[in-house]
Structures are given as C-alpha cells and as structure tokens.
Structure 1
Amino acid sequence: MGVRFSAEPTTKRTRMSVSCGTLLDVTQRQDAQRNRELLLAAGEQVFREHGLHVPLQLIAERAGVGRGTLYRHFPDRDHLALAMIERRVDLIEQRLASAPDPARSVEEIFFWIADTLSAIPGLHPYLASTEAGRTALERLNQQLRGLLAGPVEAARARGLLRPEVTLDDFVCSWAMIEGGLLAIAPQDRARMVARAKALLGSALFVPSARSR
C-alpha cells in the first residue's frame, strides 16, 4: 500500500503565511501613516519657527525619522507644503462632520483658519508660485468652499452672520490676513493678527450672536 500524504499541513502553512503577510502589511501601513503624521506635525513646527526655506533635514530630525523616510512621503518642499494645507482642509471636514450644529461652528472655523494662516505666513503664496501649485490650491479652495457653503448659508439665515456677508467675504478676509503678514516683522505678527481678527470678526458676525 502506498503512503498517502495529507494536504492539510500545507494548507495550514499557506493560510498561516497569508495571515502573517497580511499582518505585516497592516503594520507597515500603520508605520507609514504614523511617520507621515509625524513629518506633517514637525513641518508645521519647523516652518513656523524658521520659515519655509529651512533645510528639510531639520524636519526629518524633528520628526525622529531618516531622510529616506522624509523623501518617500514628500519628494520635495512643495509636496510637504501641499500636504500640510490638505491636512488643514481634512481637519475642517472632520470638525464639521462631528459638530452638532455646523452653523455654530462657522465662527470657530473662521478664526482657526486665520490662526493657521498666520502661523506660517506665505505658505499659500509659495505654492501659488508654480502652475502645479496653483492648480492644487484651486482644487483645495473649491473643496473648502464646498464644505463651508452650507454652514455659512445656515449661519446667515439664523442671524449669526451679518445679512450681506457671503462665503467670498470669508475667503477675502483670510487672503488679507495672510498677505498683510508678509510685510510685518515676526515679533509684531501676533499683535497684528489679534487686531485683524477683532476687526474682521466684527465685520462678519452679528455681535449679539457671537460666541466670543
């Protein structure tokens, strides 16, 4: 009688191999995502402290990763800058999605965007200096408008905004803040941003309805 070999051990080994491979893939993706978030956070910090033209190696060092990891995620400064802006838009989308009353979140988001623009002045103009950057910024601008159009309309209908205010006024206000800061010394920016936010807040929002 011939010896019969069972296929079961091979099947089990195959399943185990697939399972281990899947777990490894998941771990690698998690590591890659974590490194990407570390680099974005470090980029925000380093650009804020030293300006947009700082050596990218400083960002890798701040994030605690190697230069190769940095360039795998962000091949150059433009890709990093764009990803930082994309991340801001994603955070706004998450904030609106989780807000019990998006119309009430409009004021908070307006000032948050003003603060992020003032943290790294010139980020948008830097990207807009190339055709690819302008195209990407226009895409993000349209995405942001799509997110805010409904809440802004609802806020105006409920008397939280002045009746003549439109989404264009928000966009114009943010552009004025960022553009104005480029000509102001770093040590004076915080004071000027606070003043600009007070003036623009009074112009856009109904004082009696403001949350702050």
Structure 2
Amino acid sequence: MKPAATKRPDAATRRAQLLDAADAVFITHGVNAPLELVVERAGVGRATLYRQFPDREAILLALLERSTELLQAQALAVQERPDAFFALLGYLSERIVRSPALSDYWRSSSLVDPRFAQVRKRVWSTLEPALAQAQRAGLVRAEVQADDISLLIGMLGAALRGTSDAERRRLARQALEVIRRGLRPDAATDAASRG
C-alpha cells in the first residue's frame, strides 16, 4: 500500500498564507521589515514569495486590496442600517488601530503611486452610498460630500499618534465621537449659535 500523497496548496491558498504572514509581520515590525520574516512566518521558500509578489509594494498593494474587500463585505453586512456610514467608519477605525504600519503606508504611498488609485476609488465607492443613506436618514448634514471621506479617514488616522494599543484605541473612539458630533445636521446650527 502506497503512503498518501501530501497535497500541495494551490496558488490562491499559498497567496493567502503569504498575505496573512506579511500582515502579521508588518503589524509587529512595520512595513519595512525584512521580507525574510514573512518567508519564515509563512513557512515557505523565498522563491515562493517572489513568484506571488515581485516586490514589497506588490505585497502591500495586495494587503490593501484585501482590506478593501473586507470593507466591502462589511458594507454589505450593514447596508440596511441608517447608521451604516458610522458603522463603516468604526470598522475602518479598528483596522487603522489594528494595523498602524499598513495604515501609515496607505496614507503616504497611495498618494503618489498610481497602482493605488483603483484601491482608493473602491474604498470611496464603498463608503459613498452609506454616506448618502445617513444623509437621507438625517444623521449627517446635507452639505457633507463624498470628497470629505478622505478627510474623515485622515482624522481617524490621528489615532496612530497613541504610543500604545490602548491609547490608539482611546484616540480612535474619541475621533469617531468628534466626527459623529461634527457631521450631525444640528452641528452647524450649534456652532453658529455659539459664534
């Protein structure tokens, strides 16, 4: 009787394994960590990594694409809620806190690298319907535009100034609360009456 052959993982499985490893390494050591750490964590050879991802930027782009897919799945899960926009901002806030190095990379590199334009566009197109829904529900001022989404995400990114995970989470909650209060339809009236 022949021993059972060990089934090799397919390319998609190997790719997901490498992305999981890269995500873990970048969370711990930052996006400039040696790729050898990714190889070690994934338990693969260096050639396997480079067959899937020719360079560090390809890994980072794939991680950002995967994060965008997760955001899109989250948007589907909350799409019936009037406050879906705030639920999605909360989800993004958690992602920023969980993966500060990747978030920092997103902020800096995606502005100059044309490969990131499509990913950025997908993020905005995921959030825009939820923003419109929140406006129809009276949760967000009518003058807030889709172009403001980038600014709101930047405000959430301020949580990265925290020096510990607990501090970053506290700052993220605080940023979310400031955003929620600032976007309320009555916020403009409140500000005018104080001024």
TM-score range for the pair, normalised by the shorter chain length = 0.7 to 0.9
TM-score, normalisation: structure 1: 0.70
**1:116 aligns to what?**
95
Match for residue 148 of structure 1 among 109, 127, 138: 127
Shift of residue 102 of structure 1?
6.0
Shift of residue 96 of structure 1?
3.0
Shift of residue 89 of structure 1?
1.3
8 Å contact 1:103–1:152 — kept in the other structure? no
Unpaired segments ≥5 residues, structure 2: 1-6, 187-195
What is the rounded CA distance, in whole Å, between the counterparts of 2:50 and 2:183 in structure 1?
42
**2:142 aligns to what?**
163
Shift of residue 84 of structure 1?
0.8
> Which segment drifts farther, 140-149 or 98-107?
98-107
Unpaired segments ≥5 residues, structure 1: 1-26, 208-212
Number of residue pairs matched by the alignment = 175
**1:56 aligns to what?**
35
TM-score, normalisation: structure 2: 0.75
What is the rounded CA distance, in whole Å, between the counterparts of 1:128 and 1:92 in structure 2?
17
CA RMSD of aligned residues (A): 2.7
Give 1:170-185 correspondences, 5 Å limit.
170-178=149-157, 180=158, 184=161
| Secondary structure of 1:163's aligned partner | coil
**1:68 aligns to what?**
47
**2:163 aligns to what?**
186
Percent identity, aligned pairs only, is 27
**1:92 aligns to what?**
71
For the pair shown, the structure with the greater C-alpha radius of gyration is: 1
Match for residue 43 of structure 1 among 22, 26, 30: 22
